[in-house]
């Protein structure tokens, strides 16, 4: 299977089988153990990956840069605004040329619905090097793979079926955040046996195509997928809660309107009362950065249910696994 994955794009978790994703998770576990024990693992000596960013980043950029270094290779950071892409260079030309210089291309292009995923797939059409999605408008498959790894560490690899994950919108005043994290969670978690409850105000629904696929994934896996408009209802008896803000699909070109609408829902916050609705051993997750005091209270994000730092750390190990398997 490792040989089969060499050169394979990772643009959505939906593009990989459960068996392929299991291999990625097992590889991440192995790499994490080696990192902790300081066992060298230069599996990609002299390999180069290009990291193309259309948006800001902390965890994603640094996990890929540190990860490829630990694997024996090197990363080139590219800011789209300071490259010829800003002058209109095509995805075809960009893909062909970068792939001739190195061994992999990773892209973050997440802020405009209808653009990022399309751009990545166009790049992938014109290169035989693997293209890795560092976050697009539809999915954030590096984040959700790390989330799944973290959940399995908490509850056990063979103890996922029937676990309830509450994916909830939460209020944040900072900016209209991408939809890709909740969408990626909705796509991935049912495939690994989890019951999903998605909660959001009426205006903040996810993309129709994603919802259809997520519901089909749940049907095939024999698990539940439910949508509610009540944060409390989603949290009730949940094993995992993942409350975060996202924007309105039709208003990403006018984000100030989405932010104005969001003010009606300032009470959509993850606080101690809501955590009290969950199971005793429940976990709080967030991809970070979280809007403290809006999406979540300090008492929760810094409290005993929170596993945000373990979750963030696993970004390193999962992205290393993806590069090691595909490059």
Q: What is the mean pLDDT of residues 209-221?
A: 98
Q: Within 13 A of 110's CA, how many CA atoms are on the CB side?
A: 27
Same domain, 26 and 93: yes
How does the average pLDDT of the chain come out, rounded? 97
pLDDT value of residue 186: 98
Q: CA geometry: angle at 237 spanning 151 and 191, to 5°?
A: 40
Strand stretches in the chain, DSSP E? 48-53, 74-79, 104-109, 131-136, 164-169, 195-199, 225-228, 240-244, 283-284
Judge if 161 and 127 occupy the same domain: no
One domain for residues 106 and 47: yes
The reply to whether 319 and 270 lie within a common domain is: no
What average pLDDT does the segment 184-191 reach? 98
* Total domains, the chain: 2
Q: What is the pLDDT of residue 2?
A: 81
Residues 96 and 123 in one domain: yes
Whether residue 171 is found in the same domain as residue 302: yes
- Domain match, 61 and 196 both: no
95 and 220 assigned to the same domain: no
Distance from C-alpha of 170 to C-alpha of 190, rounded to nearest angstrom: 22
| Cut 0.75: pTM above it | yes
Q: If pLDDT is split at 50, 70 and 90, which confidence band does 276 have? A: very high
Same domain flag for 222 and 74 = no
pLDDT(37) > 90: yes
Residue 33 CA to residue 53 CA, distance in Å, equals 30
Give residue-wise pLDDT tens across range 85-142: 999 999 999 999 999 999 999 999 998 999 999 999 999 999 999 999 999 999 999 9
End-to-end CA distance of the chain: 14
Whether the CB-CB separation of 300 and 275 falls below 8 Å is answered with yes
> What is the extent of the structural domain holding 107?
2-140+314-326
Q: 320 and 292, same structural domain? A: no
With a CB cutoff of 8 Å and minimum separation 6, the contacts of 216 are: none
pLDDT band at 327 (very low <50, low <70, confident <90, very high): very high
> pLDDT tens digits for 278-297?
999 999 999 999 999 999 99
Using one digit for the tens of pLDDT, what is the confidence trace for 42-60?
999 999 999 999 999 999 9
- Residue 274: which CATH number? 3.40.50.1370
Are residues 27 and 126 located together in one domain of the fold? yes
Verify that 154 and 280 share a domain, yes or no.
yes
């Amino acid at each position: 299977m490792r040989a089969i994955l060499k050169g394979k794009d990772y643009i959505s978790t939906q593009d990989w089988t459960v068996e392929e994703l299991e291999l990625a998770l097992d590889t991440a576990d192995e790499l994490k153990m080696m990192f902790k024990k300081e066992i060298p693992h230069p599996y990609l000596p002299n390999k180069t990956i290009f990291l193309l960013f259309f948006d800001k980043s902390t965890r994603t950029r640094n996990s890929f840069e540190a990860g490829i270094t630990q694997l024996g290779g090197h990363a080139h950071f590219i800011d789209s605004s300071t490259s010829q892409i800003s002058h209109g260079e095509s995805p075809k030309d960009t893909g062909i040329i970068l792939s001739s210089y190195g061994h992999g291309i990773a892209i973050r292009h997440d802020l405009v619905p209808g653009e990022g995923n399309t751009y990545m797939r166009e790049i992938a059409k014109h290169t035989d090097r693997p293209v890795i999605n560092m976050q697009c408008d539809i999915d954030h498959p590096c984040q959700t793979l790390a989330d799944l790894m973290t959940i399995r560490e908490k509850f056990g690899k063979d103890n996922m079926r029937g676990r309830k994950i509450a994916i909830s919108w939460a209020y944040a005043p900072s900016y209209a955040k991408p939809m890709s994290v909740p969408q990626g969670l909705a796509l991935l978690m049912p495939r690994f046996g989890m019951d999903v409850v998605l909660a959001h105000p009426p205006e903040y629904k996810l993309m129709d195509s994603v919802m259809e696929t997520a519901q089909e994934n749940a049907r095939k896996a024999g698990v539940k997928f439910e949508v509610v408009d009540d944060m409390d209802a989603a949290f009730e008896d949940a094993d995992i809660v993942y409350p975060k803000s996202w924007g309105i699909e039709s208003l990403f070109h006018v984000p100030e309107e989405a932010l104005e609408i969001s003010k009606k829902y300032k009470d959509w916050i993850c606080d101690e009362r809501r955590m009290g609705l969950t199971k005793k051993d429940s976990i709080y997750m967030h991809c970070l950065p979280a809007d403290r005091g809006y999406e979540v209270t300090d008492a929760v994000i810094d409290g005993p249910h929170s596993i945000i730092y373990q979750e963030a750390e696993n970004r390193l190990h999962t992205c290393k696994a993806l590069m090691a398997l595909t490059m």
